[in-house]
Amino acid sequence: MKTFKWAAVTLLFFALVSIVPGHSSAQFQFSDISPDKEYYEQVHYIADLGIVNQVSKFNPGDNLTRAQAAKMLVIASKKQDMPTPAVDFKDLKPGTEQYDYASRAVELGYFKKKSDGSFKPNEKLKRDEMGYALSVAFNLTEKVTVDRPLMLTDMKNHSFAEQINGLYYGGVSQGDAGKFLPNDYLTRSQFALFVARALNDTYKLPVKLPEQTSRTYFAKVATGGDNLNVRTHPAVTGDVVGRLKDGDIVEVIGQTGEWLLILNDGKNGYIHSKYTIDIGTEKPSDTEGTTGEPEEPEVTDPEITDPEVTEPEEEWDTPSNTSGLIGKVTANSLNIRKTPSTSAAVVGKLTAGEKVEVLSLDGYWAKINTKSGTGYIHKNYLKLLNKTGNPLNGRIIVIDAGHGGKDPGTSKSKLNEKDIVLKVTKLVESKLKNAGAKVLLTRSNDTYLSLEQRTDYAKKHYAETFVSIHVNSASSTSAKGSEVYYDSSTNPNATESRLLANKIQANLIKQANMADRGVRDQRFYVIRNNNVAAVLIELGFITNADDFSKLSSDKYVELYAEAIYQGLVQYYSAQ
């Protein structure tokens, strides 16, 4: 009886393994592919899906033909049941299998007819044509930009450059020694690898993206007198878009290998790190000639034209009447204006810590009571506090879920940072709304936003607090715990940011029992380019076993959200 039970369990185990993506079938194996081949699992994976026929031999070293590729891509993209389009081919007859798949592939845009009207079904497929077809079939096209540079150097100026760029950043193909070899013919085993990677994240190649959310710093050009080229992408094949002189100082906002992504005169580009010296997070001129009084920015209604940035679901009228609202001055010296304009006459001044009665809010401006009547002060330099009721009621809080869309952030075991932080963000949003806050999310779904779009969004909607949520990673698996960042280099509300960071960090330690890595002053883009209390939270390390178990747990995701919420409550409760 025991023998029968164990046999049944064994059969059930192998049956389950055979249908799990990422495992080859236990019931079928090509006779000409041994398990030690790098493509063994991927070939059998696509065979299990019916993309290739389960026959005795796969012929992995044979060149792939256009007809074979068309059939495999149509099946892989689940378009085999679409009606057969009426496409006129010079060399294919309707009713044949090659015609059926070729016509679908052409109709779907995977392939194009030859100039003479033929399909050339038996013509060997080149890698560039394959890359184009794969990119279209799986929507992998990627524009060549500073943060997605063309890493495969032999695709420069190629008509399929964006499609091959998409394969690179999609983890499908990273070429050979930095080259894609577009004119080489493709083998069946290579194509199987590419299709499996496009279909299943298990097989994707790891992609190191240029990191723009890390610490930024200043670097001094040190060439010994020569000029230093600024290039479009991190390789000597990148186009030269500028030149720096020996001794020039630039801001480093990211790095790819030995190449630094810099910001110089408002433009991005890459320079080689060999010719630079890190001079720290403070630009020498930044500390000269500063005054205690913050600048009052021109009051405008900035607009974001990128269609990916959505308007908030909830709108509110401005100016808004307030009741029982006071404002605590956060600047050393703050002008009181006669009217809500930076060009209006100054009728008085306030100093840090003073409290004023707020009569109404209109965009960036707060109308207040003064000894000599009413006046206007810039809202960015006020901490708005409710005398009664919930301290969060009416506060405009922007929650920024890091990464998103084509930028997954850090990941482990198919769990992506972008998904973790979005879950936490939505829970924080719900808690804040229940408290009466006016909550705005930079993204509420799996959408990619640049760092600039995130800060612009906050400014457009007159945010009073900005909270960016992230997950950490490290090369050492022993690194663990939460940490919260603020910026004192350019953010005029550095003190308030630090206070908010301390409240949130204390709650992360208490609520989620996280190791305490402290509150840190760093130049993260989204907090240094904000002008209100702004923090960046690293919930924990996905690379640490203990932290990973929490980050992947719905229970702890709720605890993270509660900790952030309580931190905001306590920050706005402090009078």
> Do 245 and 354 share a domain, yes or no?
no
Within-domain flag for 18: no
Find the domain containing 368 and state its range. 320-386
Residues 400 and 381 in one domain: no
Q: Are residues 468 and 425 in the same domain?
A: yes
Give the DSSP H/E element, type plus range, for residue 318.
none
Collapsed DSSP state (helix, strand, coil) of residue 437: coil
Q: How far is CA 95 from CA 29, 103, 107, 109, in A?
A: 31, 11, 16, 21
Asked if residue 305 is part of any domain, the answer here is no
Residues 438 and 363 in one domain: no
- Among the residues of 146-217, which ranges form H helices? 161-169, 188-199
Residues 250 and 370 both lie in one domain: no
User: What pLDDT sits at residue 354?
Assistant: 93
Which CATH number covers residue 524?
A: 3.40.630.40
Which of 365, 386, 407 is a domain's end point?
386
Please check whether residue 158 lies inside any domain of the structure: yes
Q: Are residues 128 and 151 in the same domain?
A: yes
The two beta strands, 396-401 and 465-472, are parallel
Q: Is 240 helix (H, G, I), strand (E, B) or coil?
A: strand
| Residue 19: inside a domain | no
Burial 423-432 (b: 16+ CB within 10 A, else e): bbbbbbbebb
Is residue 195 located within the same domain as residue 325?
Answer: no
pLDDT of 406 reads 86
The domain boundary residue, chosen from 386, 410, 436: 386
Predicted pLDDT of residue 311:
32
56-95 burial code (b ≥16 CB/10 A, e <16): eebebeebbbbbbbbbbbbbbbebeeeeeeebebeebeee
| Residue 4 located in a structural domain | no
- Assessment of whether the complete model's pTM goes beyond 0.75: no
Which long-range contacts link 238-247 to residues 24+ away (Cβ below 8 Å)?
Answer: 238/149, 238/270, 241/267, 241/269, 242/267, 242/269, 244/271, 245/221, 246/221, 246/222, 247/220, 247/221, 247/222
Q: Can you give the pLDDT of all 575 residues of the chain as single tens digits? A: 444 444 444 444 344 444 344 444 447 899 999 999 999 999 999 999 999 999 999 999 999 999 999 999 999 999 999 999 999 999 999 999 999 999 999 999 999 999 999 999 999 999 999 999 999 999 999 888 766 778 887 888 899 999 999 999 899 998 887 789 999 999 999 999 999 999 998 899 887 665 554 456 788 999 888 899 998 878 777 778 889 999 998 888 777 778 888 876 656 788 998 899 888 766 665 433 333 333 343 333 222 222 333 333 333 344 454 678 999 999 999 999 999 988 899 999 999 999 999 999 999 999 998 877 899 999 999 999 999 999 999 999 999 999 999 889 889 998 999 999 999 999 999 999 999 999 999 999 999 998 889 999 999 999 999 999 999 988 788 889 999 999 988 899 999 999 999 999 999 999 999 999 999 988 788 998 899 999 999 999 999 999 999 999 999 999 999 999 999 999 999 87
Domain presence at residue 43? yes
Same domain, 224 and 357: no
| pLDDT for the residue 281 | 61
Assigned domain for 298 exists = no
Beta bridge partners of 320: 361
* Residues near 140 by beta carbon (within 8 Å), at least 6 away in sequence: 134, 163, 166, 167, 170, 172, 198
Which residues are known catalytic residues?
A: 538
What is the pLDDT, as a whole number, of residue 177?
Answer: 74
Sheet holding 228-231, edge to edge: 240-244, 228-231, 267-272, 259-264, 249-256, 217-221, 276-280
Domain closes at, from 283, 310, 334: 283
Strand 320-321 to 249-256 pairing? unpaired
Q: In 3-state terms, what secondary structure has residue 416?
A: strand
Q: Are residues 372 and 446 in the same domain?
A: no
CA distance 180 to 236: 17
User: Cβ distance 178 to 152 under 8 Å?
Assistant: yes
What is the domain-level CATH number for residue 223?
2.30.30.40
Query: Do 167 and 73 belong to one domain?
Result: yes
Q: So what's the pLDDT on residue 216?
A: 67
CA-wise closest residue to 452 among 211, 213, 208: 213
For residue 386, what pLDDT is reported?
A: 94
Determine, yes or no, domain membership for 554: yes
- Residue 524 identity: F
- H/E element, 8: helix 2-19
Q: Are residues 167 and 145 in the same domain?
A: yes
Alpha-carbon dihedral sign for residues 117, 118, 123, 124: positive
| Residue 68, token pair as written in the block | 């074979």
Residue 413 sits in the same domain as residue 494 = yes
Structural domains counted in the chain: 4
Q: Please give the structure tokens belonging to residue 515.
A: 């190791």
How many other CB atoms are there within 10 angstroms of residue 317's CB atom? 7
